[in-house]
Chains A and B, each alone.
Chain A
Amino acid sequence: MSSLLEVAGLTVAFEGTRVVDGVSFTLQRGECLALVGESGSGKSVTTRTLVGLAGYGAHVHADRLRFDGTDVTGFTDRTWRRVRGARIGFVLQDALASLDPLRPVGREIAEPLALHTTLSRAERAARVRELLESVGVPEPEVRAAQYPHQLSGGLRQRALIASAIACDPDLLLADEPTTALDATVAVQVLDLLGSLKDNRSGLLIVSHDLAVVARLADRVAVMKDGRIVEAGTTDAVLQDPQHPYTRALLAAVPSAHAKGTRLSTVERPTVPAPAPVLDPAPGGAPVLAAVGLRKSFPGPDGVARVAVEDVSLTLRAGETLGIVGESGSGKSTTARLLLGLETPDAGEVLVDGTDWSALTPEERRTHRRRLQIVYQDPLSSFDPRYTVDRVIGEALGVAGYPRGIRRRDRTVELLELVALDAGYLGRRPLELSGGQRQRVAVARALAAEPEVIVCDEPVSALDVSVQAQILDLLADLQARLRVAYLFISHDLGVVYHASDRVLVMRDGRVLESGDVRTVFADPQHDYTRELLAAIPRLATHATPPPTPMGVS
């Protein structure tokens, strides 16, 4: 029997630029293959080419491109349409954007049925209910009538998967299907994808995160710059990576053994740095403290929803406090309360011993400088028309640097601190990569010479390898400048790597807190254990399995 999918010498070019360059692989029925690589490695374009949707203006060439024994290289859009949705299902990253926001999810799921089957309207509705049930969506009748924005991230993604498998396809393509999800939800969705695959069908999963796909994939192909640099069984690739790029990808994943070491292959800056603070903040007055914070917001029905309840914390100079929890756990609201952007209903925030609420707006402004923030998505926190020079210059202006040569010098100095140089001054946010943008965001935060930087999911939008560089950068800066971080993330691996102490939050409350090693090694709360169990793990030889996080 022929392979389900056979790709040989696939090349895709846009306006002369080769994005995919001679990619070859096969996929058998009953098998799961993972394509792994960073943004821009060509993995998404490869996947889209497999359904004939390489993109506007794409030039596709392949020595061999066979689906279930049929040569698809000469397919017209008309012939492709009979395959798409019917025999090949396609799941994209973020269901909030990948489902039509103006249509109830039930109608979206019914769409492939209307296109490829002769089912009546009522039969389609029944099938939609069945599908939603099969992907683990409770109360399918209710959910089918709801819009994507009314569903949680996990339910949305399940609905998207339901629409892809509606016609029971032979091949399911999943492009970063869990990247937008919290860790525990991501695990459930991965397990769902795994369970959908039977010995008749195949699954191709695309991700930037080796650890995520390792859970599911039988074989892994690592992509870089449009080429497959390494391919093999999942075990072989993880245990004995041959290509240096694969090794770098593996090393970039924060894990227990890597704490206190560098994740990226980037050299530590040669600027003479003061000795790293080995024992962060032995006593000393906290630079930021909160006591009994409470905040509620009115919901759409007028009933108040408590976002943060009885949260207390302290942060000392040179220390990193991690806050970990899933979406909606109150992490970001806590951050906004600490920054003085929201007023707590009860409790107080002490900045250097002074209560925010006791300050006049004028006095607050002088205190604001001490607290800076780095957001998840720097692209939306920069004015797209500003150059890097202007972004940082503006922050310096607020910090009291008058316009002129001194400000320019300081801007360059800040860029050098984050391992960029004066060459980036004239660039605009869109002309920077994700990692460079986040470096600029850090430089902007440093412009005010703050005592505390609140990092709200600072690496969640980045590829694993870039994430590693940013985490290293933050650690270097802390060692040099003794700045304190409040490090918010849903990713326990990242929090473990970056933090000294940690708060675990759920439903607005602090469930557990303490030294990060203690909390992770001996979690007291069931929820913390659940979170820890959901961390994607790599069974590499460097990590002593099966307790890579020291969890027993």
Chain B
Amino acid sequence: MKPAILYDDTWEKELDQYVQRASTPGCFPLFLLTAQTKKRILPAHFDGLLSPGFLPHMAFLPHQVKTAQKVMEEMNGTAILADEVGLGKTIEAGLILKEYMLRGLVSRVLVLAPASLVNQWAKELREKFQIYAFVQRKKPDWSWNGVQIASIDSAKQPKFADQFSDTLFDMVIIDEAHRLKNPRTKNYQFVSKLNKTYCLLLTATPVQNDADELFHLVSLLKPGLFGNSSAFQEKFKQGRHAVQNEEAFHSLLQKVMIRNMRADIEQQPIKRIVKTIRINQTDEEKAFYQSLSECLPNSITLLTLQREACSSKYAALSTLKKQEGFFETETALLSQAIQSNSKAEKALQIVHEAKEKVLIFTQYRATQQYLELYFRSHDIPAVSFQGNFKKGKKDWMIELFKGPAQVLIATEAGSEGLNLQFCRHVINFDLPWNPMKLEQRIGRVHRYGQEHDVYIYHLAFNQTVEDRMLSLLYDKISLFQAAIGKIDTILENNWVEEHLRDAIQSSRSIREWEIKMENLSAVLE
């Protein structure tokens, strides 16, 4: 097949007039300069990357260059970049963007990132890729004809809808794209309506709960890759979570998704040493925990309350105290009887033994405050980190953690994008519901630039809801594994054995044992 040849006759039309005009002395150097410069920058081949050559100050890692090249040569600029946390997805996206810009295929670009990461994107594009992006703030101007960065929340406002429907972006890049898993959300609808030629979705956790999420993500990029929705359900789905026809599913998925795994890339991989520490509650803690069902507020589930109590009594009390008359209850008395927190004591022990920086995650603000005071009362300098801190305060807290503080206590929110390679101990003071959050947490320290083995400690109370949570976490991880490939040892391998023993030894009723076994077999299926 011969391609169409489109001839541009602008120059030809002017030729008669050109011939009449005399040239000026500066013309010839300029004439030679533009041709030489053009020759220097033009892409002489379809394949291969030009961008690394234009960025001599950057030492790109082989997997990053390979990824960028594959996205350009095989995926035609539409891809999900799903590297594990900390392998440099931003760098891969930057390389691809730079490449398309150098080739003159892309000039108008929209980068959508969480509001907290907008400035970091601008900084990385500028420093690493010499792309000077325009950050859209309070009064965005979408007519900007270059690279622009905005938060999805500011862009999706209905008042801009007309502007967006009239604008063709050469490339759209969406960071933390796992936020786009639900097609009914405004975010998803906004993105699916964008007029774009090339598109990159970045996420470390393309699946959080079920395989439908992957289907929806892929449908933003390449509608029809898995067929339409009903074909997908029929061909690939099995039950709510599981995937069938795995091989076919994988080979299709690989057409749009690249997932680099830490273990495959590092020659001497940083080991991840995971310790699940099971702690027995003190009698006081146990009594408090068991009394919770008696003073349950209306709008709160027992499970929520129990999970809070597994973290600290303060987390539970922050919910309970809102209830009128709570302080007269038995539970309130029981809470006062608790003099110490067994998990905090264990955490203190770990910090003492580590003699290094330790990052502690909790889901609860109350636990965070308690822990900060607890560590300080034991002469260990500790600082807190929350998502709702202002940018300056966040930076300051990280600086403190780099400097004098030994312990950083972080809540879930706002931990995305943090780079804490200088620390290698992570304590999960309580377990999040979502197994991928675990991965996000660990990724703060287990990322490029980490030079030592990483220690992860899960603290869990025996015979509490935390035990059961582990089984559900495990279920979700196996689904994730089936869809994407193998996953690091987030949970210990011998967990299954342990669970079996535990189910026989500690169940108080046969019903409990049955449920546990059902869970387990569902997991192993």
Partners in one complex: no
A residues apposed to B, CB below 8 Å: none
